[in-house]
Amino acid sequence: MPGFKNIHEVLRSRAVLCGGRMSFRDFSEIALFDPRFGYYRQNRERVGRGAGTDFYTAASLGGIFGKLMRHAAQTLLGEKENLRDYALVEIGAEPGQAHFEAQREFFREIRTVRVGEKFEIPEKSVVVANELLDAQPFYRLVSQAGTWREIGVEENRENPETWREALLENFSDEEIRHFAEKTPTPADDGWHLDIALDAETLLRKILGGNWLGAAIFPDYGKRLADCLETFPQGTARAYFRHGQSNALTYAPGEQDLTCHVIWDRLSTVFDACGFQTVEVLRQESFFMKYALPGVEEILTGTSPEYARERGKLIELIHPGKMGHAFQVLCGTRGGILRS
């Protein structure tokens, strides 16, 4: 592998291979996951409310997230199931996060998989992946004369080591071409659509195999129809120091890049992998439906610990906070192991 000195050299090398313009999917893959310079490969704290972090998630609230997920897992599997027969596998946890540690006694084992690590899912498992799918590389499309065109990225020659979006002459690969040809275009030109097909590939990998149990994916997303009707600028954005911007090509490797997941396409992956009772619920509805015993315990508890947890519970389920902003895709797979 060439000894690149910085992420701009990595990007420039990829752009040269592509004739000067790379797909936005390739740009975001390098910006997020390059082994040396990618945003998610940097050894620093990204998630939380402390100095130097860029955003926070439901998991940032600590042990309450793990407690409610444990109650949700029990409800999803059914009260007759013993959680101690199941491994809890968390995929995509940030460095230093251990919000399921206090739930270890309730499961057969706890497995924490960090970004870039290989994973194996035991035969009976509860898989939780909080805001994993929105963190995958994504394509950008724009409507033009009744068709979709793919947006790529090129180096700004007027200001080296800065990058800008530019239309590609042709689709960068067959996967995005196939998606674009099957997706209707809005009536107006200039409508943007962001799609993380890599998220669907990753989900198929996680849900594949013969393991039985429950899968829980909290994230933020929309239906494809919503994206085509109400988001003319697309859903892609960048996060840096708790600020949101549309400067997607600015400072690659230093800021988070993300777009909304497409719930109806991800639900189809669940169906294809043999999952039943597949649902997409607002985070508020998910916890009230599946983790109600844990919610009631926190609301009625009298110790100082419960008093502290009540404030965090409000953040998780209040419609004006995380309750409506985030949704949860979940499902179960049981019965005889597939051959």
Cα 99 off chain centre by: 18
**Is the pLDDT score of 114 beyond 80?**
yes
Residues 298 and 337 in one domain: yes
Please give the single-letter amino acid code of residue 127.
V
Instruction: Please check whether residue 321 lies inside any domain of the structure.
Output: yes
Instruction: Please check whether residue 55 lies inside any domain of the structure.
Output: no
Residues 183 and 290 in one domain: no
Residues 245 and 339 in one domain: no
Instruction: Please check whether residue 42 lies inside any domain of the structure.
Output: no
Counting every residue, how long is the chain? 339
Residues 214 and 248 in one domain: no
CATH number, domain of 96, equals 3.40.50.12710
Residues 213 and 226 in one domain: no
**Is the pLDDT score of 46 beyond 80?**
no
Q: Token pair for residue 74?
A: 């029990």
pTM, rounded to two decimals: 0.91
Distances (CA, A) of 190 to 59, 136, 232: 36, 24, 8
**Is the pLDDT score of 62 beyond 70?**
no
Alpha-helical (H) ranges within the chain are: 7-17, 24-33, 63-77, 174-182, 197-207, 224-230, 263-272, 283-290, 292-300, 304-317, 324-325
Task: State the average pLDDT for the chain.
Answer: 89
Q: Which range has the worst mean pLDDT, 58-72, 82-96, 123-137, 260-274?
A: 58-72
Residues 214 and 153 in one domain: no
Q: 50: left (phi > 0), else alpha (psi -120 to 50), else beta?
A: beta
Residues 167 and 255 in one domain: yes
Contact 15, 21 (CB under 8 A): yes
Torsion angle of C-alpha atoms 63, 66, 71, 74, degrees rounded to 10: -150
Dump pLDDT digits (tens) for 228-263: 999 999 999 998 776 788 999 999 988 999 999 999
Residues 161 and 186 in one domain: yes
Dump pLDDT digits (tens) for 121-161: 999 999 999 999 999 999 999 999 999 999 999 998 888 77
pLDDT at residue 312, as a whole number: 77
Domain count, the chain: 2
Range of the structural domain that residue 68 is part of: 60-133+205-220+260-339
Instruction: Please check whether residue 47 lies inside any domain of the structure.
Output: no
The CA distance from 68 to 75, in Å, is 11
